[in-house]
Amino acid sequence: MIGPLLFILLSLGDLAIHSTEGCENMEIVSRAEWGARESLSNETMVTPVPHLFIHHTAMSECNNFASCSQMMRTIQNFHIDDRGWDDIGYNFLIGGDGRVYMGRGWDRVGAHTYGFNRIAVAFSLMGDFSHKLPSELMLNATKSLIECAKNENHVISNYKLHGHRDAGCTECPGSAFYNLIKTWPHFVGGPIPDRLKARTSRRVRREENPLLWEQPTAVEPVAVGISSSCFATGFRNHLRLFFCKASEARTEKP
Ligand SMILES: [Zn+2]
């Protein structure tokens, strides 16, 4: 008796995953499915939002449902227990298995990009894409998720696409991947003027501060300070250094 019931439930679950309008090309793994802890906050944003940020996790890759679900739990534990945030920081993550894993979802305030957590959704690809590109499977899932965001009105139709580094002193989402998203529709880049940032609450500022710096990893926390990338040559990097110093000054008094 349990067998047929389970089959029906799984089938219904499958139907729910694939029937979302505008998002037919991807499979979203729910928080229950990857074994999420309960969020400590359910604060919502005003949607549709004008910005869409791309990140990488700068952690290990995963290649199937079990390992990607485990990675989701690891990242969530790191963000809650070590960073002191309310939940996993991003709105959605993309696994090496091509699945989309739900983080905070479409309409919840995130902890991903300093100054933009109330006016942006953030997608993070699991892995480190500094020196190589994500797989076609991951890239296709990311593009479907962006299309889904637009078609379902989670972002405005003329949304602005950025890499995390456009808004902070970080290498995220990795140079190799960043060079690719520069070619995608709606890419705007940065640095993004401070005046575009939304006013943030004390709680959100607390969540955002560590993300001014290099994307953290679970095994190798990055020291607080100006990232070495910001000392690199070139006009663009001079701008980034200026931005980093401004960010540093701003976070001295949280
Ligand atoms: Zn990032």
What is the secondary structure of 136-159 as a DSSP string? Answer: HHHHHHHHHHHHHHHHTTSEEEEE
- Model pTM greater than 0.85? no
Task: Tell me the average pLDDT of the chain.
Answer: 78
In order of 103, 231, 240, the CA distances from 234 in angstroms are 36, 9, 10
Q: Could you tell me the pLDDT band of residue 7, with boundaries at 50, 70 and 90?
A: very low
CA of 186 to the centre of ligand 1 (A): 19
Going from the Cα of 16 to the center of ligand 1, the distance in angstroms, rounded, reads 30
CA of 64 to the centre of ligand 1 (A): 23
Residue 157 CA, ligand 1 centroid: distance in Å = 23
Comparing 135-139, 174-178, 191-195, 197-201, which segment has the lowest mean pLDDT? 197-201
Distance 173 CA to ligand 1 centre (A): 6
Q: Ligand 1 centroid to 72 CA: how many Å?
A: 15
Helix (H, G, I), strand (E, B) or coil at 165: helix
Supply φ then ψ for residue 243, to 5 degrees: -65, -40
Ligand 1 centroid – CA 164 distance (Å): 5
Q: Are 211 and 219 in contact (CB under 8 A)?
A: no
Q: How many Å lie between the centroid of ligand 1 and the Cα of residue 126?
A: 11
pLDDT at 242 (0 to 100):
54
Q: How far is the CA of 59 from the centre of ligand 1 (A)?
A: 11
Q: Which residue has the higher pLDDT, 58 or 250?
A: 58
Segment 241-254 mean pLDDT: 40
Query: What is the distance in A from the centroid of ligand 1 to the CA of 57?
Result: 7
Residue 90 has pLDDT above 70, yes or no: yes
For the cut 90, the answer to whether the pLDDT of residue 155 exceeds it is yes
* Lowest-pLDDT choice from 29-33, 152-156, 204-208: 204-208
Instruction: Supply the pLDDT for residue 250.
Output: 39
- Cα separation of 171 and 164, whole Å? 8
Q: Which of 17-21, 31-35, 72-76, 188-192 has the lowest mean pLDDT?
A: 17-21
Distance 212 CA to ligand 1 centre (A): 9
